[in-house]
Structure 1
Amino acid sequence: MAEKFRSFDGLRRVLAETKFDRPPAIVCNAHVTGLSVARALSAHDVPVIAIDRNGNGVAPYSDAVDFAGQVTYPLDDRDGFREDVEALASELGHEPVAFPCMDEWVHAFAGTEPEGVRLPFAGRETIDAVLDKESLYEKAAELDVPYPETYRMADTDPEDAAAALDFPFVVKPALKREFEEAVGTNVIEVADEEEFLDVVAMAEDAGINVMAQEKVDIETGRDCSLASYVPQEGDPVTFVGNARVRYPQEFGTSCLVRQTDQPEIEGRALSILEETGYYGISESEFVYDKSREEYVLLDINTRPWKWISLPVQAGADLPGAAYADTVGDEFEAGETHDSTWVYLGDYLKLLANDAGFSDVLNENQWRGLFSGEFETSDALTTGVYRPSDVGPAYRLMKTEFGTGDYYCSC
């Protein structure tokens, strides 16, 4: 565990006093996703430096993190962020490898390209083409990859879009992070034209491009994503996960995910990544449309995400592959196997209100969680809780129920 979450000057000072025998990883933001990335890299004896805007995330309190500290938040001052990262890198004796775990950190690294830092993912132009749903859906259409009926407000009259779609439908941003910062969510369901026009007006005032999109007739429990690391050269490391349970249901984040066999999803996702030229870690999200009777693409995240510890546990070590590829180490991908990931905080909240999900984890899995024996099995893993590394779980408890405060859409 990092001795403490340090100020920027304190972090720079302790890094200057430390001798590293291999390139460290810089992981940010330092919350649930960052924790999973840190644990994956630490298993390969990679030194981990966690950076964030404050110390309230869970990752700095993990034994997998060697040092943690504050840097300028890129949404506040991107140039200040670049200067901070370059200053930290200059103290290490190696060029660190960056693992940004939220969109704003991805944009900050790709957009400023700090000197002395290695980026294991494609450049800004490619990332923008993937993250921007307008350009993403254009690529999907070219490749015959199904996606929801969508109208861009940049070139469609709102009243025409309202007439073409059945209420209720959803309004989404082309780039979700800026919308999320402005309104606190990345999707808004509208019940009638008045609500829709209000949301469009709000987005226009904020200078944010939005889209009107059909509310897909989703079959709950069948959402699937391709988790992948695509190298610049060579074969990708892949894993398909089924988001069996979300919290809240439909538009919530995953809280229980299992391995599944969906070669069609893998093929469609990889075709888009190849067409855009994207390399690096990504998650390609699909939902099952009952009306179409097929999977449709929602979006692609060009970064690690909340349940990335599942593919790691199941044999598809995406962070390990990305690090090894970037520094020139050997990495050999093995066969994947069945495994389940659960984010206990959200899953228990769901169970408190809906007993219909109580049997998704079986008795043996619950017993393994209660006893801690799940850590010695490759069939189950968690988002935060691990008896051998309890600091993050304690920190999350303080964040959820105590005096701590940390915002992260993961």
Structure 2
Amino acid sequence: MAEFPGAIILGNEYQALGLLRQLARSGIPCVLLDQDAWGVARFSRYRCRFHRAPRYASDEFWPWLVRLAHEQGYLGWLPVATDDEQVRHFAQHYEEACALFRYAGLPWASYQHIYNKRLAYPWAQSLGAPVPRTFMPEHREHLPGEGWPFPAIIKPAVKREYGRYTRRKAIRVETRAELQQVLNGLLAPVPIEHLMVQELIPGDGSTQWSYAGFFVEGRPVAAYTACRRRQHPPDFGRASTYVVAMPNEEVEAQSRRLLGALGYTGLAEVEWKRDARDGQLKFLEINARCWGWHTLSEPVVGNLPKMLYDYLIYQSVQPVSPRYGFRWVKWVTDVPVAIELMRRGELAWRDYWASIRGSSAYGDWDAQDPLPFLLQFALVPYLLKTRGY
């Protein structure tokens, strides 16, 4: 076992792969744990011990993690989360998490306001952030009034049960009748308090923005804004496929206000969308964890997981200013998305080629660690079955 604390990477997919590469190259011992048996991170040249975990949504996960830490000598290690349900467990057991691990995050009293979107939107509004028009049904016959704008989308306020019945991030409905049909059909097993109805904000990838990085007590240490140009699936993306680091002062200012109110410490991404109808930048969500395209951070602000490690282990922190203009792509999903957009007439081949030329960060490819990129294609059927992509 390592003589100094290592990192517990919660996940096994491309987010975890990026974390493993950055931490292992910095000489930090790592272990992987995940609810799924297989993922690209297990094939990295930096491969490490792997532990199969109970489902993150189950009550079994936290007791299992505590036992694992005691039995395997992971006490005092740094956990790095990649999933909201992982963070929920740490938040609900905050005092125990801080005693067992080098943990940075929020207690449940604060985290619930970003975990549950029914709480997140009123909270963001109270801090002056515009939000999409949202309806919170109290029961399955409780529908928006006649003046509600359709088409609309059904989204999870809490993802835990929703994800068991559909892989889609949001479900588009054209009428009140279709809305009721989906609530009483496909989503009937999902508690109504876990669902919400939201206006459909028009706009392509150029309207989707994020502020992401490493924060200490709500203040940015190494953070930057980025435009999430393409996503998979193209309409209601579960994950970004092409992202460009670009300055946006409004996105930064609005995001800093929210993170400052939380006093948040750790890695985080705040998502927004510009509404072309009124020009407002509207709040979507805060991911108080590592996000999908986090490896874009390396050329822009540096090695974020190493910064988090140094802060929590050595209390060392050095603020960094972003360098913009870098681009990130995940080939295995971006190519199919681009083909679909070309088929629709929404993307020209020359524009796609121009967007990917000279990309400087990747979600899958790494010249020093090529095997995960090659083997991910063999894993596609497994990932479609277990994760929906």
TM-score by length of 2: 0.88
Match of 1:335 in 2: 321
Match of 2:84 in 1: 103
Which of 368, 386, 389 in structure 2 is aligned with 1:407?
386
Indicate yes or no: 2:161 matched with 1:174. Answer: no
Indicate yes or no: 2:366 matched with 1:397. Answer: no
Whether the 8 Å contact between 2:203 and 2:276 is mirrored in structure 1 is yes
Whether the 8 Å contact between 1:39 and 1:64 is mirrored in structure 2 is yes
Greater shift in the superposed pair: 299-308 or 243-252: 243-252
Change (3 A) 1:216 1:91: same
Q: How does 1:118-267 map to 2 (within 5 A)?
A: 118-154=102-138, 158-159=142-143, 161-202=144-185, 203=187, 205-209=189-193, 210-232=195-217, 235-252=220-237, 253-267=239-253
Whether the 8 Å contact between 1:242 and 1:257 is mirrored in structure 2 is yes
Which of 278, 289, 293 in structure 2 is aligned with 1:307?
293
Q: One-letter code of the match for 2:270?
A: S
Change (3 A) 1:100 1:108: same
Residues 291-348 of structure 1: per-residue CA shift (max 9 Å, x gap):
0112211111111111011112312433222222211242323332221100101111
Could you tell me how far 1:365 is from its partner in structure 2?
5.4
In 2, the alpha carbon distance for the partners of 1:388 and 1:152 equals 48
Could you tell me how far 1:224 is from its partner in structure 2?
0.6
Look up the SS of the partner of 2:146 in the other structure.
helix
In 1, the alpha carbon distance for the partners of 2:49 and 2:348 equals 39
In 1, the alpha carbon distance for the partners of 2:21 and 2:74 equals 23
Match of 1:86 in 2: 67
Could you tell me how far 1:162 is from its partner in structure 2?
4.4
Change (3 A) 1:69 1:234: same
Could you tell me how far 1:69 is from its partner in structure 2?
2.4
Which of 19, 35, 44 in structure 2 is aligned with 1:37?
19
Give the aligned CA root-mean-square deviation in angstroms: 2.6
Look up the SS of the partner of 1:163 in the other structure.
coil
Q: One-letter code of the match for 1:389?
A: D
In 2, the alpha carbon distance for the partners of 1:82 and 1:394 equals 36
Look up the SS of the partner of 1:298 in the other structure.
strand
Whether the 8 Å contact between 1:28 and 1:99 is mirrored in structure 2 is yes
Could you tell me how far 1:149 is from its partner in structure 2?
0.6
Greater shift in the superposed pair: 334-343 or 203-212: 203-212
In 1, the alpha carbon distance for the partners of 2:190 and 2:74 equals 43
In 2, the alpha carbon distance for the partners of 1:133 and 1:404 equals 27
Q: State the number of aligned residues.
A: 378
Look up the SS of the partner of 1:312 in the other structure.
helix
Whether the 8 Å contact between 2:104 and 2:312 is mirrored in structure 1 is yes
Could you tell me how far 1:360 is from its partner in structure 2?
4.6
Whether the 8 Å contact between 2:205 and 2:227 is mirrored in structure 1 is no
Greater shift in the superposed pair: 353-362 or 300-309: 353-362
Which of 88, 99, 117 in structure 1 is aligned with 2:101?
117
In 2, the alpha carbon distance for the partners of 1:340 and 1:303 equals 21
Could you tell me how far 1:156 is from its partner in structure 2?
10
Residues 117-143 of structure 1: per-residue CA shift (max 9 Å, x gap):
222211222221112112211122112
Residues 48-79 of structure 1: per-residue CA shift (max 9 Å, x gap):
11111233111121133422221223324x33
Residues 227-278 of structure 1: per-residue CA shift (max 9 Å, x gap):
0322137644211111112232231121100011111111111211222343
Match of 2:367 in 1: 387
Could you tell me how far 1:279 is from its partner in structure 2?
2.8
Q: One-letter code of the match for 1:396?
A: Q
Greater shift in the superposed pair: 346-355 or 165-174: 346-355
Q: How high is the sequence identity, in percent, across the aligned residues?
A: 20
Change (3 A) 1:86 1:266: farther
In 2, the alpha carbon distance for the partners of 1:299 and 1:117 equals 27
Change (3 A) 1:276 1:399: same
Could you tell me how far 1:219 is from its partner in structure 2?
4.1
Whether the 8 Å contact between 1:71 and 1:81 is mirrored in structure 2 is no
Could you tell me how far 1:170 is from its partner in structure 2?
0.6
Unaligned 5+ residue runs, structure 2? none
Whether the 8 Å contact between 1:219 and 1:289 is mirrored in structure 2 is no
Look up the SS of the partner of 1:119 in the other structure.
coil
In 2, the alpha carbon distance for the partners of 1:37 and 1:284 equals 19
Change (3 A) 1:272 1:294: same
Q: One-letter code of the match for 2:364?
A: V
Q: One-letter code of the match for 1:37?
A: L
Greater shift in the superposed pair: 148-157 or 259-268: 148-157
Change (3 A) 1:235 1:243: closer
In 2, the alpha carbon distance for the partners of 1:345 and 1:250 equals 18
In 2, the alpha carbon distance for the partners of 1:333 and 1:360 equals 36
In 2, the alpha carbon distance for the partners of 1:347 and 1:39 equals 21
Residues 135-159 of structure 1: per-residue CA shift (max 9 Å, x gap):
2111221122111111111389733
Whether the 8 Å contact between 1:219 and 1:288 is mirrored in structure 2 is no
Q: One-letter code of the match for 1:322?
A: L
Change (3 A) 1:281 1:110: same
